[in-house]
Structure 1
Amino acid sequence: MKRCSFVILVCFTFMISGCNNTQSFNVPKTDQPMAIVAHVKKQEITFLDVVQNQVLGSEDSHFLITEMVSIENGTIVATSQSEDSLLLYNIEKRSVSPFLKLNQGLTAIQYDQTSRNLFVTDIVNDQVHQIDMKREELVQSIEVDSYPTDLEFGFDELFVLSGERNHVTVTDLKLQTTLQTFPVLERPSGMYYDGENLWIGGHGSFGELNKRILAYDPNTGREVNEIEVGLMPIDFFGDRNSPYFYVLCHGDHGLYKVNKETNEVEDVIEVGQNPNFVTGNEDRLFVTNLDGNSLSIIDRHSFELIEEVPVATGPYAIILLED
C-alpha cells in the first residue's frame, strides 16, 4: 500500500463568515418537501414542491453553484468553481455565506452523516479536503491524481475519480491511507458503488463516444463487468434498499433502469434535452435537463414520466429537502 501525502493544517480554522459577507434570499413558505435546483447559466436557485410538482419560486443564489449537499436542519453546503470558499446556505435563516476559504476549483462534494465530515474535490491542487462540520474546520487534505471531479462512498472507503488521468483513488474515510489506485475508461464521469463493485460511466475516447458503464473491483482495480446503456452515461443514482440503480445518459437523453442482481437494463425512459443530474427518494426520481430548461419527474415504481416541469434556464445540480 502506498502512503498518502498529507497537507496537515495545524491551527488553521475558518469559522462561518460574519454578517458582512452574509447575503439573503427568499424561501417560499410551504410545509411540503422541496427540491432545490441550482442553475449553472446564471446565479439562481429554484424551489420545487415535490408533492404537487409545482415551482414555488426562483431566487438569486448570489453564486454560480457547481454542486450541493444537504447537511442537516435545512443547511446546504455548495461548491462553485469560481469561488475560493465553500458556500453555506441556511434555508431557515434565508441566508448564504462564504464558508471555509480554500481556493478556486472546488467541484464534487459528499457528506458523511455518521462522522459529520464533508469531503470536497479540488481540481486546482489535485486534492480531496476533509472538513469537520461539527467544528467547522479543515481537518486535512490528501493528494490524488490530476483533476478530481467525482466522489463516492463505499462502506468504509472513499472513491475519488480523476478525470484527467482516468484513474480512481481508493482511500479510507480518515484520508490516512491510499488503499488502491487503478485506471478506468477514458474521460470518465459518474460513479456508483453497489456494495460490491464500483460502476463508472463517461464520455469515452474522442471519435468513439462511450455507450457502456464498467464495473471495477475496488480491491484489485480489475474490470469485472460491463453493461451497454445509452450514449455518454454521466451520472448515477441508487440506494442500498432497492434492487435497481439508475444511469443517466446525456447523449441520448435517457434514464436507464439497471437490475443489480442480473446486471441487465430492464427499462429506459426519455427525459429532457442534455440531462446532467439525477437524484431521488423512495417514490420518485428527479432529473435536471440543462438545455431543456426543465426537471423530469419519474415514478420510481412504474418507471413512467409523471411530469416535465419547466424551470429557469440551465438547471444543473439538485438536492431534496424532505426532513
Structure 2
Amino acid sequence: MKRSIFIVLIGLIMSLSGCDEQHFNTPKTDDPFLIISHVKESTLTFVDINKKKVIFSEESRSPLSDMVNIGGGKVIATSQSEDFLMLFDMNERISRPLLKLNQGLTAIHYEPTLHLLFVADIMKDKIHIIDVDKEEVIKSMKVGSFPTDLQVANGTLFVLNGDSNDVTVIDIKQQKVVAAFPVLERPAGMYVDGDYLWIGGHGSFGNLNKSVFVYSLKTGKFVEEIDVGLMPVAFFGDDYSPFLYVVCHGDHAVYKVHKETKEIIDSVEVGQNPNYISGNEEGLFVTNLDSDTVSFIDRDSFELVEELRVPAGPYAIVLEE
C-alpha cells in the first residue's frame, strides 16, 4: 500500500508561491498533542491527546510523506512533490525549506546523539546523510530500489527497499554499505529491537503476506516467521512495555506481540486502511488512510477508546509532549 501512497503523492505535486519563510498556527497549549500529515491534501492537523479532539488544521504547503521531531519544537518533513526538506518550527510558528535535494523524498529518521538526519530518496534510489546543525548533505549513498523505511541500531543504518525486496546495511561511521540481504516481496515496515530486525510487507500479488519476519541484526539471516494479520506494514515499540504493536492494513487491525516470546497477545480493529502508528506511555495512535480517522487505543486494556474524524488521507504522526 505504501507504493500506492507514494504514487498518490507524486500525482499531487503542487507549485509553491515562493520558497520563502511562511507563518502558520500552532496550538497554544501545554497539553500533549499530535501533529498529523495528510497525503490526500496539503494539511497538518493538530489533535489534543487528552481531549481526543481536533484542535485545528493548517496548510502544509504540500502533502507530506514523513515527519520527524528533532527537538526544540522543530519538525522536519519530506514531501515527494517538493525537491527540498521542510522545517516546521512550532515555537517560532514558521515553516521554511531546510535543504534542497530532489523530488521523491520518502522516509526520514533522526539520530539525536549524532545530530544526523537520514532521508530516503526513491527517485535516485539513494540515502542522504544530513548534518542538521549545518543544514548540509554529508554524503549520498546508493542503496536498493525504492527505499521506503529506515532504522538505526548500534551505529548501523538499515534501509528497506520496496522494489528490490532487500535490506541495505550501512555503517554510519564509515558511511559505507557493508551488507545487503533479501526479504519478502513488496516489503513495508521495519523495527529494530535488541538483536533482531522485524520486517513486514505486502507479499506477492498472488499470495498476500500475513507474517512478520525476524532477522538477525548481526548476520541478516532469517530467524523466525510470526503469523499476524493481512499485510503488516508498520510497527511501534518502546521501553514502556515488552510488546511490539503491528499495524496490518489488510484487515484494518493492530496486533500486540510479545517481543521476547514472539507470541500474539491480542488484536484490536481500527479504521479503514491503517498505515502509521505512534504512541506514548498511556496510548497508541493509528492513522487510517481511507476512513479519514485517527484511532486512539488504550495501552493497558488494549481497547479502542476513540475513532476521531480528521481531514482526508491522514498519514504520518509526530507526538509533541
Q: State the match for 2:286 in structure 1.
A: 287
Q: Superposition pairs for residues 1-323 of structure 1, below 5 Å?
A: 21-174=20-173, 176-322=175-321
Displacement of 1:270 after TM fit? 0.3
Displacement of 1:240 after TM fit? 3.8
- Tell me, in whole angstroms, the C-alpha distance in 2 between the residues paired with 1:202 and 1:310: 27
TM-score, normalising length: structure 1: 0.92
SS at match of 1:71: strand
- Tell me, in whole angstroms, the C-alpha distance in 2 between the residues paired with 1:105 and 1:36: 22
- Tell me, in whole angstroms, the C-alpha distance in 2 between the residues paired with 1:174 and 1:24: 37
TM-score, normalising length: structure 2: 0.92
- Tell me, in whole angstroms, the C-alpha distance in 2 between the residues paired with 1:240 and 1:164: 32
Q: State the match for 1:11 in structure 2.
A: none
Letter in 1 for 2:315: Y
Q: How many residue pairs align between the two structures? A: 304
Equivalent pair of 2:77/2:87 in contact (CA under 8 Å): yes
The one-character-per-residue Cα deviations of 1:131-168 (angstroms, maximum 9, x if unpaired) are: 11112211111111111111011122110011111010
Unmatched tracts of structure 1, length 5 or more:
1-18
Letter in 2 for 1:277: Y
- Tell me, in whole angstroms, the C-alpha distance in 2 between the residues paired with 1:274 and 1:167: 24
Displacement of 1:306 after TM fit? 1.6
Displacement of 1:20 after TM fit? 6.0
- Tell me, in whole angstroms, the C-alpha distance in 1 between the residues paired with 2:19 and 2:284: 39
- Tell me, in whole angstroms, the C-alpha distance in 2 between the residues paired with 1:300 and 1:311: 22
Q: CA RMSD in A?
A: 1.2
The one-character-per-residue Cα deviations of 1:227-282 (angstroms, maximum 9, x if unpaired) are: 10000100000124521111000000000000011101000000001101001111
Letter in 2 for 1:285: L
Displacement of 1:175 after TM fit? 5.2
Q: State the match for 2:5 in structure 1.
A: none
Change (3 A) 1:91 1:263: same
Letter in 2 for 1:178: V
Letter in 1 for 2:308: V
Letter in 1 for 2:231: M
The one-character-per-residue Cα deviations of 1:171-197 (angstroms, maximum 9, x if unpaired) are: 122352323210000000000111111
- Tell me, in whole angstroms, the C-alpha distance in 1 between the residues paired with 2:173 and 2:161: 19
